[in-house]
Structure 1
Amino acid sequence: MKIAVMGGTGLIGSQVVKFLGDAGHEAVPHSPSTGVDLISGEGLAAALEGAGAVVNLTNSPTFDEASIEWFRTSMDNLLAAAAEAGVGHAVVLSIVGVDQVPDLDYYRAKVLQEEVLKAGPVPYSIVRSTQFFEFVPAVMSWTSDEHTVRLPDTRVQPIASEDIARAVADATAGAPLRGTRDVAGPEVFTLDELGRITLEAKGDKRNVVVDDTAGMFAAVKGDALIAGPDAVLSSLTYREWLAR
């Protein structure tokens, strides 16, 4: 099957392309660098010609309120072009608990993306993932200085990007779920605990201080980002990943 992978040159997309290719599919990566723009619609018709499925792994350039309109426009354009091309399956990567954090503009934008997909003309699958292992250093950098890393004690269940990509590839190659599949890592940490593990593994002597106002994830309450009992759990732990 020919599969168009929007955002196919990024961290997740490039791995999705590989997994689909290894499974015998013709997975074609698309991005602005290949001449496909979901906001203007440029290159979409050609990218979707002959495709049996399309995966949308693109991301808003900002995490603020502007992300809401970005996801609305990009999904409207993608689904219209997919319907015109006769694509039979549209897949989107979203976030576990995304509908439980209304105080974050970006999370509200991702909820809108899901809603547009569900209401659209193309049979769909939504894969929701917990936070990526690869993003932990970036999250720490938002609220750190040369001596201290400030993090909230938000509970998270991180997962390797490789395992997310495999889950997306599997969902794409299968029949449309017409629903949502959650994927998550095997362990739950508080974010400050995850920060300490990361610093120790890197030999970084800075201290981690719990700060319930620090960074984007301070807006998350309780277990909003923890996967439910029906989630598919990966086996690679964070410490094993760091040791690589």
Structure 2
Amino acid sequence: MKIVVIGGTGLVGAKVVAKLGQLGHEAVAAAPNTGVNTLTGEGLAEALDGAAVAVDVSNSPSFADDAVLEFFETSTRNLLAAEAKAGVGHHVALSVVGTERLQESGYFRAKQAQEKLIKNSGTPYSIVHATQFYEFVGSMAAAAEEAGTLRFAPALFQPMASDDVAQAVTGATIGAPLHATVEVAGPEQFRLDDFFREALSFRNDPRTVVTDPSARYFGAVLGERTLMPGPDATLGGIRFGTWPGRDGSRR
């Protein structure tokens, strides 16, 4: 079947396109660099023509509060409207474990708004909530840095490889619409502060990690389990200690 992957040239999207192709589906990578822009609507109708499923793994280019909300609301409205016109029967979206608990953060308020639009659209849907990606170690460290020191709360989290995220999204895509949200996570629990000490050591990064219970995560205060999935989450199989990119050599 024809499946359109919005954000299909990005980190997760490219993997989803490849996996769908290997399963014999016609997977179309849709992104601004392929002529499809969900913010303006450019190329959407053409890309979705004949599609059975649309998968949205796109992300905002800006995390500023107003910009990220504008991105997710506008792009999601445009995409859902184009899907309805094209007769697309299943909308799959990638979001984040703990979104509903992180509403102090403008980014997660925007993700919540995106999910609300999907659920209220009338289009059959499946939402995949994933934990933080191993590939985001660098950006998470940069966000937590103050004068060469990284401040992290000792909150629990269960990060995962983007390969495992893509596998979960692919599974949701080829299955029947769930009309629900499912969670996926990595195979191991860590505390944020301890994890980043280990991650920096793999990268020979000399910065110091300080345990700070009041440290915010993209603007939000963390409780011990704010970032943790529920007991029914599907777990990936790739451990951070054996993940090839742990030294920062690849994304």
TM-score category, normalised to shorter length: over 0.9
- Over aligned residue pairs, what C-alpha RMSD do you find? 1.7
Residue 151 (structure 2) aligns with: 150
Asked whether the 8 Å contact 1:6–1:30 carries over to 2, the reply is yes
Measured in 1, the distance between the counterparts of 2:145 and 2:39 equals 34
Asked whether the 8 Å contact 2:102–2:220 carries over to 1, the reply is no
Measured in 2, the distance between the counterparts of 1:5 and 1:214 equals 32
Residue 7 (structure 2) aligns with: 7
**Gapped runs of 5+ residues in structure 2?**
none
Against the structure 1 CA distance between its residues 146 and 106, is the aligned structure 2 distance closer, same or farther, given a 3 Å change threshold?
closer
Asked whether the 8 Å contact 1:140–1:151 carries over to 2, the reply is no
Q: Which moved more, 1:207-216 or 1:128-137?
A: 207-216
Measured in 1, the distance between the counterparts of 2:217 and 2:52 equals 40
Residue 138 (structure 2) aligns with: 137
**Gapped runs of 5+ residues in structure 1?**
none
Measured in 1, the distance between the counterparts of 2:211 and 2:121 equals 43
Residue 79 (structure 2) aligns with: 78
Measured in 2, the distance between the counterparts of 1:144 and 1:86 equals 47
Asked whether the 8 Å contact 1:152–1:218 carries over to 2, the reply is no
Superposition TM-score, scaled by structure 1 size? 0.95
Against the structure 1 CA distance between its residues 146 and 64, is the aligned structure 2 distance closer, same or farther, given a 3 Å change threshold?
closer
Against the structure 1 CA distance between its residues 99 and 147, is the aligned structure 2 distance closer, same or farther, given a 3 Å change threshold?
closer
Residue 31 (structure 1) aligns with: 31
Measured in 1, the distance between the counterparts of 2:206 and 2:141 equals 14
Q: Which moved more, 1:63-72 or 1:5-14?
A: 63-72
State the shift of 1:84 in Å.
0.4
Query: Is 1:69 matched with 2:70?
Result: yes
Residue 89 (structure 1) aligns with: 90
What is the total number of aligned residue pairs between the two structures?
244
1:98 maps to a residue whose letter is: T
Against the structure 1 CA distance between its residues 52 and 196, is the aligned structure 2 distance closer, same or farther, given a 3 Å change threshold?
same
Cα-to-partner distance string for 1:3-60 (whole Å, 9 max, x where unaligned): 0000000000000001111111110101011111111111100010010100011111
State the shift of 1:214 in Å.
5.1
Superposition TM-score, scaled by structure 2 size? 0.92
Q: Could you list the runs of 4 or more consecutive aligned residues of structure 1 that deviate by over 4 angstroms after TM superposition? A: none
